[in-house]
Every structure is written in C-alpha cells, then in structure tokens.
Amino acid sequence: MAAPTGARRPNILFIMADNLGYGELGVYGGGATRGAPTPRIDRLAAEGLRLTNMNMEPQCTPSRSSIMTGRFAIRSGTYAVPFGGVPEGLTAWEVTLGDALSAAGYRTGLFGKWHLGSTEARLPNNRGFDEWYGIPRTTDEAIWLDSPGYDPSIISPEPILEGRRGKANRTVATYDLDQRRIIDGEVTKRTVDFLERAGRQGQPFLACAFFTQPHLPTLANPRYAGKTGNGEWADMLAELDDNVGTLIDTLDRLGLRENTLVIFTSDNGGEFIKPWDGWSGPWRGQYFTALEGGIRVPMILRWPAAITAGRVSNEIVHGADIFPTLASLAGAIVPSDRPIDGIDQSGFITGHIAKSAREGFPIWCGNRLQAVKWRNFKAHFYKQDTMRSTAERRNVPFLVNLYTNPQEDEDKSWSGSWVLAPILKIVRDFEQSTLRYPLIPMGTPDPYHP
C-alpha cells in the first residue's frame, strides 16, 4: 500500500529508546508513578495512534536487526547480543531500511546506538545511511574503564563514532561514564541539525534518533541530575521526555508537522540488572525472556496528514513489520529474493483497515524457539523467568490466555490446547521457509552469498 490518497510520501522521524519497559511512560501507566511525568511523550500519544500490543524481539541486537531488515533475527545470524570473538552484525547481503529508503530518494541519518556491526563495512554509513553518529555496540561497555583489572591493550574501549556515506568513520570520543551521561543530549542535537538541513532541502527524510537511555548504567545528563528529586531513574525519564519534546518542537518549527510520521518505541522490554531495573507495567518479565515484559513495548505513531488523533489499539504488531510498512509508505522496494517476515501495516496504522495484518509470531531467545504468540494466546516451550535463569525445556507447552492470565502465572493452568493448532502452524510455516532459505550462522563474514 502506498501513502494514503491526499498525502505525500511522509518524512519519517523514528525515535527509539533502549530497554524502556512497557510501564515507564505516563500514558502507559508510568510517568509520575515512576517519579517523573512524561508530558511530551504523552501528548505525542494523544496526537496519534498508541499501540498496546507492540512486540519486539527480546534482546537489543535481534530487535534492531528485525527492524532494519524486516526479517526475524534468527535468519540473519543476529539472534543474540554479540560478545566478541566472531564477526558481528548484519552481513553486507542484508538490505536495511536505510538501503531501501535511500534507493527511493530519501535522505537518511542515524544517530545513537547501532549494535548491528562495528567493523567499517558494517557501520550505518555503509548500510544505507548518509550520515551517522553514535556507538557501534552497547552502553554497558562504558563501565569498562572503571572496572578493576580492565586492560585496554586486551580489548579497546568502545568508541563514539561519526561518519558519512562513502567515507571512513572518525572517532569522536571514548565511550566512558562521562560520555554515557551526555550522549543522548548530543544525539538530540545532531538529529535536530539533520532535520533542519533536510527540511531546507525539501527532500523526504528518514531520521533515526536511537537513544541510549535507559540501558544500564542509567545515568542522567548532568543538567538533569537531581532535577526530579526522585533519583537517577526519574531524572533519566525527565531527560528522555525533554529530548523527545525537542525533536517534536523542531518539526513544528520547520513546518514539517503535518507530513512527518513520528514513531516512538523501545527496542525490547525493560532493563533487568539492578539497581537499574525497569518496570514492565502489567506484564511479568524483562528483556532476554519470552514473557510479555520482555517483548511488549510502547509504540506511538503520529502523522497528522494520515493518522487520526487519539486512536488506541490492542492489535498485534511486531518490530519486523516496521521495514515493509515504512517501505510501503515511502514507495520503496522490499526485497523479493529472501523471506521477509514483516507485514505491511500501513493500512492499519492509517485507519483504512481496522485490524492488524498480523495474528501472531514466533519468539526466539537466542537461537531457541522459546514461545509463540497468537492473538491473545501464547505457548511457552521453555521455562525461563529471567535472563540469568536456565532455560528448561518443557515436556508439554505452557499455554496462556493473556486476557485472563496477563502475568503468565504458572499456577494458573489453562486447558485450551486447541490453540496449539494455529500456533504450531506458525512454527511449521517458518521451518518450511528455512528449507529453501537456510539460516545465516552467527559470525558469518563478508562476502556472504546464499
């Protein structure tokens, strides 16, 4: 489906938080109850569509991979956060969201966290983005320099990089705890600069502001330290809300409000490691698990030219749907030579279709098919309550009706085994697709050819 009648191809401002739990924002039950109201993000929700059943993969790298390619990360060898020792990230064979929209005439920029490859060839400016600034991997590496025994001659500290298409990346700074506090402010500043330049040129754009908050260590910008009086987490939440507000104000100031699709979401469920653990609202679990708290995230979309304000929907959407949906709206080409697991949801988000185009999806934790979600039902094939728990294979699937058992409480048995028919069909369909299109192993170097 192309852009709705009467609307031009939209500009796209894609804002993503890192490990922001479902229950953190005011409009999702958090905000003031977490020590910091979130008025700007709440207003954004009131001006567009708020999803209550948006689902991601349960780790950072897999979720970002599925967003960028429209493919479940298990297909791309990006099914888990990489810990070194092998080539990491997306092979050059994968077509990214940046590739697709650039080919369709969009100006593209990505600012913030990447986590899909840290070698030169796999960084954003070589993966479809005209420019980028940020960290190639993850925020917990900022702790390394203050860790007893750390030796940079063994493994170098993470750099903050900037680069432009076709040119070598440049190291801006070392990502230490001081930089950790200020990086989201810089992401905001650079995204604003990109929006101003793109707005003057009149070229449609994809601007990705991929914030690092609230990923551990959750440390607010010094300008926000102590601002709420309710601790570091609340200070961070106030900062995040203000940064989003700054980006929205920039669109309005530039006269880009009407035909810019703004997306706000999180890459996966809430932070688990104490004392920075987040809140999943009504759901149990956090990232690295197949529980709802690991995969269900906030998702807000505003596009005044095409999305009716004040809509709320509990229809199922998955992160893999972002690629084909944005490609459809932008008039971009979705690859046809590989399985695309995402589904075009443009008709649903614009209100032309009441129902989501998706009914369910498989859930991998690492390379384990851990569960399947279908409508309001779920089958767990493994028991795993936290990222540190051993995943125990179940003799029979644990079946959940999320309407009656939203906490996925093991003590609440449910005998609706009929749901295994559509659930196992999802499994069979995926397995059949791998016979023709084998999975790419993790650590696969370039060049890769299927």
Closest Cα partner for 187 from 206, 164, 161? Answer: 161
Closest Cα partner for 108 from 328, 297, 332? Answer: 332
DSSP H helical ranges for 156-315: 177-201, 232-253, 292-295
Do 219 and 180 meet the contact criterion of CB atoms below 8 Å apart?
A: yes
- Spatial separation of the C-alpha atoms in residues 133 and 206, rounded to whole Å: 15
- Spatial separation of the C-alpha atoms in residues 24 and 305, rounded to whole Å: 28
* Distance in angstroms between the alpha carbons of the first and the last residue of the chain: 29
Eight-class DSSP state of 194: H
**DSSP calls for 210-224:** EEEEESSS----TTT
Reply yes or no: is the peptide bond before residue 217 cis, omega within 30 of 0. Answer: yes
- Spatial separation of the C-alpha atoms in residues 238 and 38, rounded to whole Å: 7
- Spatial separation of the C-alpha atoms in residues 120 and 268, rounded to whole Å: 26
Reply yes or no: is the peptide bond before residue 447 cis, omega within 30 of 0. Answer: yes
The single residue of 115, 215, 318, 380 carrying the catalytic annotation is 115
- Spatial separation of the C-alpha atoms in residues 426 and 212, rounded to whole Å: 33
Residue 74 phi/psi, 5-degree rounding, is -60, -25
Indicate if 60 belongs to the active site: yes
- Spatial separation of the C-alpha atoms in residues 61 and 66, rounded to whole Å: 9
Do β-strands 49-55 and 159-164 pair in parallel, antiparallel, or remain unpaired?
A: unpaired
Residues annotated as part of the active site: 60, 115
